[in-house]
Amino acid sequence: MFGLFGSGKVRQGGSGANVKADGSSVDLVLYKYDSCPFCRRVYRTIDQLGVNVEYRDIRSDFTHRQALLAKTGRATVPCLYIDGEPMFESADIMRWLEGQFQR
Ligand SMILES: N[C@@H](CCC(=O)N[C@@H](CS)C(=O)NCC(=O)O)C(=O)O
């Protein structure tokens, strides 16, 4: 059951558009794969905060892995693109999300 670990649902598609606490909008795209425990930690934060994220699974779609590698020189997940700028490290990603979206 590839892609169904941890979260209970496949993480793909959807809009990455969000309005931040300051009223500005931001587009969020998470490069991930679902058996990655660091990705699953980030999913929990996303769910808790109710953030809209477009998911790109680098194992189910090789073009996503190629795109991540081409832009960043790495194929490590999770990687959150914030308006197109990559952020690695699950702890940094969760901290950033909480800083922007925690009410
Ligand atoms: N310290 C990183 C660790 C991320 C990490 O090790 N990710 C693994 C997947 S669980 C990875 O992308 N490994 C490289 C690969 O699978 O090609 C974080 O917390 O985000």
Query: What does the pLDDT look like over 4-46, one tens digit per residue?
Result: 444 445 676 578 888 887 889 999 999 999 999 999 999 999 9
- Give the atom of ligand 1 at the shortest distance from the alpha carbon of 37: 10
Average of per-residue pLDDT across 73-92: 98
What tens digit of pLDDT does each residue of 40-70 get?
Answer: 999 999 999 999 999 999 999 999 999 999 9
Q: Report which protein residue has its CA nearest ligand 1's atom 14.
A: 76
Predicted local confidence at residue 11, as pLDDT: 72
d(CA 17, CA 26): 6
Predicted local confidence at residue 6, as pLDDT: 45
- Give the atom of ligand 1 at the shortest distance from the alpha carbon of 41: 19
For residue 89 and ligand 1, the question of a CB distance below 6 A is answered with yes
Predicted local confidence at residue 20, as pLDDT: 85
Q: How many residues does the chain have?
A: 103
d(CA 101, CA 64): 26
d(CA 23, CA 16): 16
CATH number for the domain whose boundaries are 24-101: 3.40.30.10
Residue in the structure block whose two tokens are 């999913």: 43
Q: What are the residue ranges spanned by the domains of the chain?
A: 24-101
Using a cut of 0.75, tell me whether the model's pTM lies above it. yes
d(CA 7, CA 59): 17
Q: Are strands 17-19 and 25-32 parallel, antiparallel or unpaired?
A: antiparallel
Predicted local confidence at residue 5, as pLDDT: 46
d(CA 4, CA 18): 25
d(CA 23, CA 26): 10
- Using the mean position of ligand 1's atoms as its centre, give its distance from the Cα of residue 38 in Å: 7
85 band by pLDDT with thresholds 50, 70 and 90? very high
